[in-house]
Amino acid sequence: MKTPFHLMLIPTLRCPARCAYCWSSEHTGPVMDLETVWAAVDWLAGLNDDPVTVTFHGGEPLVAGPEFYEAALPMIEEGLAPRTVAFAMQSNLWLLDDRLAAVLAAHRVPVGTSLDGPPDLNDAQRGKGYTERTRAGMEMARRHGVQVSVICTFTAQSVLERDAIVGFFRENGFVMKLHPALPSLRDDRPEPYALPPEEYGELLVYLLDQYLAHPDTLRIMNIDDLVKSVFVRRGTVCTFADCLGTTFAVGPDGGIYPCYRFVGMEEWRMGSVRDRPTRAELEATQAWQRLAAFRTFVDEHCRPCRHIRYCRGGCPYNALVPTGGEATGVDPHCVAYRRIYDEITDRLNREMFGGDGMEAMLMGRRPAGPPGIMALMQRMVSR
């Protein structure tokens, strides 16, 4: 099976919100023009013919405005035809109006927005009034039929309120995608918010238990992805797959980077879409070489780990940027990944090889006892 290609377009690094732990947005800065979008399309058309997901990220991508999306979305679809193009967007939805919602709906752009829990908790982390503005955007999206999931960033403080956060997601019927607050790799602002890896591991196990206990009122996308990875024996999201050469980000000025997280970091720039670099030219860049060295490091370092096939050392950004690009360690969240993958694997083995798990699976019925990993897998298949 071909690996789907992922192109991240960063129309701007500007964002009207001021989240306390965010280090990837700016107050000012350029906005991508349509000539750059066309250059990105033309560059990608010459690079490969793989199915592609194009994700608009930021900063806040809606800052680019309705004219941008009304022109860019068809330009991308037509310029990359006949391959399959899927879209996605990550946005706080503050700027969503009828016109923007209509164009997102017309091109089937699902949006991941951000709420960290109940309003008091969310606004303490993301700024006063954030919840109200995002909820208004979600309502606008709903009216137009734009699909919305909710990214929940867990910080060192909010993790103490995890019961209230899960309750909030269940009460509102929001699909959760969780994200651990990371230490800043560009400056020291978010250090007090960063979620330590051990706590992140505990949180994942807690969320697994919650998800299994509340199958009708809770859906957590990360848990689905982790369980699926163990079943299919390969990573199904970028953190656990080899993103080198299958993911690129294009910044507002057309600069090419390995992923949105690197945008604006000069030492990770791989060229410009305006120059239409070939794959060989991209492979010769320092950024590519550093990620390739990380891949080699993982092959050796993680060899004894039973999860290597579907973990692949985690996210290279997390691993490489703190060391100035030297592959001297894996993603610092290794502790968390090992914890949750151990938990899923061990529970699965107990379910399959203990009790009546294997017989139930062969008979197509639910094993006796409380819902477990196999029941979750059956639910995912039947969705």
Q: Which residues bind ligand SF4 (CB under 6 A)?
A: 238-239, 243, 247, 258-259, 261, 302, 305, 307-308, 311, 313-317, 330-331, 334, 337-338
Question: Residue 92 CB, nearest distance to ligand SF4 (Å)?
Answer: 19
Query: Given the complex with ligand SF4, which of 66 and 197 has the nearer CB atom?
Result: 197
Query: Given the complex with ligand SF4, which of 117 and 235 has the nearer CB atom?
Result: 235
Q: Which two tokens stand for residue 133?
A: 């503005």
Question: Residue 259 CB, nearest distance to ligand SF4 (Å)?
Answer: 3
Question: Residue 70 CB, nearest distance to ligand SF4 (Å)?
Answer: 28
Cis peptide before 324 (omega within 30 of 0): no
Q: For residue 89, what are the β-bridge partners?
A: 56, 111
Count CB neighbours of 168 within 10 A: 21
Query: Given the complex with ligand SF4, which of 105 and 308 has the nearer CB atom?
Result: 308
CA 376, CA 81: separation in Å to the nearest integer?
36
Query: Given the complex with ligand SF4, which of 109 and 243 has the nearer CB atom?
Result: 243
Query: Given the complex with ligand SF4, which of 180 and 258 has the nearer CB atom?
Result: 258
Question: Residue 332 CB, nearest distance to ligand SF4 (Å)?
Answer: 9
Burial class of residue 353 in the structure, from the number of CB atoms within 10 Å of its CB (0-12 exposed, 13-18 middle, 19+ buried): exposed
> What helix, strand, coil percent values describe the chain, rounded to 5?
50, 15, 35
Q: For residue 54, what are the β-bridge partners?
A: 7, 87
Instruction: Judge contact between 39 and 71, C-beta under 8 A.
Output: no
Instruction: Judge contact between 6 and 55, C-beta under 8 A.
Output: yes
Question: Residue 347 CB, nearest distance to ligand SF4 (Å)?
Answer: 17
| Distance linking the first and last C-alpha atoms of the chain | 22
Query: Given the complex with ligand SF4, which of 138 and 340 has the nearer CB atom?
Result: 340
Query: Given the complex with ligand SF4, which of 122 and 222 has the nearer CB atom?
Result: 222
239 CB contacts (<8 Å, ≥6 apart)?
314, 315, 331
Question: Residue 341 CB, nearest distance to ligand SF4 (Å)?
Answer: 6
Question: Residue 353 CB, nearest distance to ligand SF4 (Å)?
Answer: 23
Among residues 275, 382, 298, 285, the alpha carbon closest in space to that of 43 is found at: 275
Please give the DSSP secondary-structure letter assigned to residue 383: -
Query: Given the complex with ligand SF4, which of 271 and 314 has the nearer CB atom?
Result: 314
Question: Residue 366 CB, nearest distance to ligand SF4 (Å)?
Answer: 30
Cis peptide before 192 (omega within 30 of 0): no
